[in-house]
Structure 1
Amino acid sequence: MTNGTGGKCGLHLVNNQRDCQSCTLPRKCIGADLDQSQSNNITNIIRKRGPFKAGETIFKIEDPFRSIFVIQSGSVKIESSLDDGTPLIHGFYFGSELIGIEAVGDVKYQCDAVVLDTTWVCELPFDKLETLCSQMPLLQHEILELLGKRLRYTNRTIVQGRYLSADRRFLLFLNDLYQRRGCITKDGKRSVLLPMTKGDIAIHLGLRPESLSRALAKLQDEGVIRNHAREIQILGDKRTSLSCLWV
């Protein structure tokens, strides 16, 4: 079976209307602020796809650009490489977030969307979405806001981050991650689960793996975080720990 861009994947389609009604993301998903009739218009163009398993791609570099995708569950990294083969990871995306939108205005995807853990997505054919945006200014505004938010993150974490120390660069990343997918554990600790590897984080932040390891050790020694293999706990009271994150 093939996905919407021609890549082989273990996926299938499901009934959209039934699934949108039972979706756990209705208040976060694209078009959440639209009225019922407008929301139905979006539902009518959605094609749900999955499950994608870890390591599979939702779209690949040079695939024709036809759709953007809302992650319903799971997580995805967007990656490419330089001409010399140096890997680049542009970002990590989770439930309710858009991927593929960076290809708008191009005829092909310029990155790979690689699944980190079992993932379901809702595919929105871009030509149909574009038509809806012309009819629904609120939807168009929401998509532009998402693009602006992504640009601000890139500027803050990647562009400005290159002038920061490794530990502060990681704290910017951690703050963003906590805002998007942080949780409170049963014992009251703030925690962020990491579907990506520490190696992926290092690549994303433009750090050597050993530099990230030293930064994590430093932050743990200072009592800012507790570092686990696939989890970061944020220590201290809320006021103190969050002020550390807002570097």
Structure 2
Amino acid sequence: MAQKKSGTCGLHLINNDRDCNSCSLPRKCIGTNLDSSQSDSITGIIRKRGPYKPGETIFRMEDPFKSIFAIQSGSVKLESSLDDGTPVIHGFYFSGELIGIEAVGDVKYQNDAVALENTWICELPFQQVEALCSQIPELQHEMLELLGKRIRYTNRTIVQGRYLSADRRFLLFLNDLYQRKGIMTSDGKRTVTLPMTKGDIAVHLGLRPESLSRALSRLQEAGIIRNRSREIEIQGNEEELLSCLWV
């Protein structure tokens, strides 16, 4: 894997007096159901960092695990490689989502977190998060829910997905992506903008690039999607898309 710049560089540490209650995200990344005093406790431990440019690393595999990170804006991929050098992309994460949480219980990060576009993050030192969890049961419950959600995503897209055809594997990925960052245009079209490359998607889904390309062509010919370079338009409604997975 190519050498990347470390994300712990002081150039990415900024002074920002914005608190969680004034964050521009439509949903809090953590502490959704907490009252103002409890939210202030989280705000007090946050270190805001950025911007990370495309290709820069927020944390690296084998770095000591110290913090989890909330993506304030932008997008990130988590990647590693097998012993033979084969690249593995574990997932893609977007505004309002957490990264680094998969390292909870370990002493080191298990992958590289790489910015896909200009990205700003909020760093939350985990020891302090853990201390807050012992004081605020609601926060502890939310953290456990987030860990469970991450496990379910891995099971659904990676474990179960490996038994699907390339077409259905991509549709499963696309449906999940739309639920997390898709938009509906004023004329009712459902679209997903892709911050990652199609090559990254193929690696994530365990497909060869040419297999993904053929799958996209088949799905477009079938009228299920409209494939553009960095955008996918979904034809029909969600029920029709999901029905294509299991026919």
Aligned equivalents of 1:76, 1:9: Cα separation in 2: 20
Q: How does 1:135-174 map onto structure 2 within 5 Å?
A: 135-174=135-174
Residue equivalent to 1:107: 107
Q: How does 1:180-191 map onto structure 2 within 5 Å?
A: 180-191=180-191
**Does the 8 Å CA contact 2:59/2:113 hold for their aligned counterparts?**
yes
Q: Report the TM-score when normalising by structure 2.
A: 0.93
> What is the deviation of 1:243?
3.5
The secondary structure found in structure 2 opposite 1:45 is coil
Alpha-carbon spacing, 1:172–1:6, altered in 2? closer, same or farther (3 Å)? closer
Unaligned residue ranges in structure 2 (runs of 5+):
1-5
Aligned equivalents of 2:21, 2:246: Cα separation in 1: 37
**Does the 8 Å CA contact 2:47/2:123 hold for their aligned counterparts?**
yes
**Does the 8 Å CA contact 1:53/1:115 hold for their aligned counterparts?**
yes
Q: What amino acid does structure 2 have at the position aligned with 1:137?
A: P
> What is the deviation of 1:236?
2.2
> What is the deviation of 1:10?
4.3
Residue equivalent to 1:36: 36
1:12 paired with 2:13, answer yes
Aligned equivalents of 2:200, 2:165: Cα separation in 1: 18
Residue equivalent to 1:218: 218
The secondary structure found in structure 2 opposite 1:13 is coil
> What is the deviation of 1:174?
0.4
**Does the 8 Å CA contact 2:103/2:110 hold for their aligned counterparts?**
yes
> What is the deviation of 1:143?
1.1
Q: What amino acid does structure 1 have at the position aligned with 2:56?
A: E
Unaligned residue ranges in structure 1 (runs of 5+):
none
TM-align CA RMSD: 1.7
> What is the deviation of 1:128?
0.3
Q: How does 1:1-247 map onto structure 2 within 5 Å?
A: 7-8=8-9, 10-16=11-17, 18-25=18-25, 27-244=27-244
The secondary structure found in structure 2 opposite 1:195 is coil
Q: What amino acid does structure 2 have at the position aligned with 1:156?
A: R
Count of aligned positions: 242
Aligned equivalents of 1:73, 1:66: Cα separation in 2: 21
Q: What amino acid does structure 1 have at the position aligned with 2:102?
A: E
Aligned equivalents of 1:9, 1:174: Cα separation in 2: 36
**Does the 8 Å CA contact 1:45/1:124 hold for their aligned counterparts?**
yes
Q: Report the TM-score when normalising by structure 1.
A: 0.93
**Does the 8 Å CA contact 1:172/1:245 hold for their aligned counterparts?**
yes
Alpha-carbon spacing, 1:9–1:170, altered in 2? closer, same or farther (3 Å)? farther
The secondary structure found in structure 1 opposite 2:203 is helix
**Does the 8 Å CA contact 1:194/1:231 hold for their aligned counterparts?**
yes
Aligned equivalents of 1:102, 1:69: Cα separation in 2: 11
Aligned equivalents of 1:110, 1:116: Cα separation in 2: 19
Q: Could you list the per-position Cα deviations for residues 96-154 of structure 1 after superposition, in whole angstroms to 9, with x for gaps in the alignment?
A: 10000111111111100000000000000000000000111111111111111111111
Aligned equivalents of 1:9, 1:201: Cα separation in 2: 32
